[in-house]
Chains A and B, each alone.
Chain A
């Protein structure tokens, strides 16, 4: 039962990622793709928040369905790395470095904040 819900939640997360990225692409058409960055930062904050809230119950089905399923399917690693390769090949290595740096540093900051808020809720 948990597996079915987890899988469907992952599908929903992937659909939300696709829809969000499509909307961002329509509004912002700069050289640096910021859709995946936005999605990964928001998803990381939410997973950190959830992890903090459920810090004493890490094996609950809610954690698996919402965390591993929904937020795991919403955020993505592979698209982010392919975007970095594409930017580098397009002679934009500085933009690639900034995008990669923003994702890692930004992810660590929102992750720490989310974990902190979650454990104190």
Chain B
């Protein structure tokens, strides 16, 4: 028997976060193995993961907020896809340890560049995602 929407939305929210986190983390790990961060220089793979995740999360959360209340399937999507998949896909700890490691190896300029691009770029990406959501959700209704 197919799981109905009623049953789906009654599962504990933490379960959706867990399942989404498995998927997002696997995607990040697979990308990092396929395209490893350079050993010296700006860690471009982690940077690309974090910036794309910031854009998608900005778009997703704003779209959900603009198109209805945080209940039922919409809440499952916010928690499973937003908190779980995208939250687990992006990472702060790896970014942080990469920055500290670059500093400890006297790559001060590269580390500063990485910090600034991540912070300013992450903010810009999340903002662009919300702007796109305002545009598309606005034109829909």
Contacts of B17 in A (CB 8 A): 11, 14-15, 17-18
Total residues of chain B contacting the partner, CB 8 A? 52
Give residues in B with beta carbon < 8 Å to A. Answer: 13-14, 17-26, 28-29, 32, 50, 53-54, 56-58, 61, 79, 83-84, 86-97, 99-101, 103-104, 115, 118-119, 122-123, 125-127, 129-130
| Interface set, chain A 1-58, CB cutoff 8 A to B | 3, 6-15, 17-19, 40, 43-44, 46-48, 51
Total residues of chain A contacting the partner, CB 8 A? 49
A72 in contact with B91 (CB, 8 Å):
yes
Q: Could you name 29 residue pairs across A and B whose Cβ atoms are closer than 8 Å? A: A7-B22, A7-B25, A7-B26, A8-B22, A9-B25, A10-B28, A10-B29, A11-B18, A11-B22, A12-B21, A14-B22, A14-B88, A40-B96, A44-B96, A47-B94, A47-B96, A64-B29, A73-B88, A75-B91, A75-B93, A76-B88, A77-B90, A78-B56, A79-B83, A103-B92, A108-B100, A111-B100, A115-B97, A115-B100
Minimum Cβ distance to chain B for residue A21 (Å): 8
Return the chain A residue nearest B58 by Cβ. Answer: A82
Q: Decide if the interface of chain B is mainly helix, strand, loop or mixed.
A: helix
> A43 vs B95: C-alpha distance in the bound complex, in angstroms?
11
B25 in contact with A73 (CB, 8 Å):
yes
Minimum Cβ distance to chain A for residue B42 (Å): 15
Given known A-B contacts A11-B88, A78-B86, A47 and B126 have beta carbons under 8 A apart: no
A112 within 8 A of B: yes
A-B pairs, top 3 by smallest CB distance, nearest first, are A10-B25, A14-B21, A11-B22
Contacts of A3 in B (CB 8 A): 26, 29
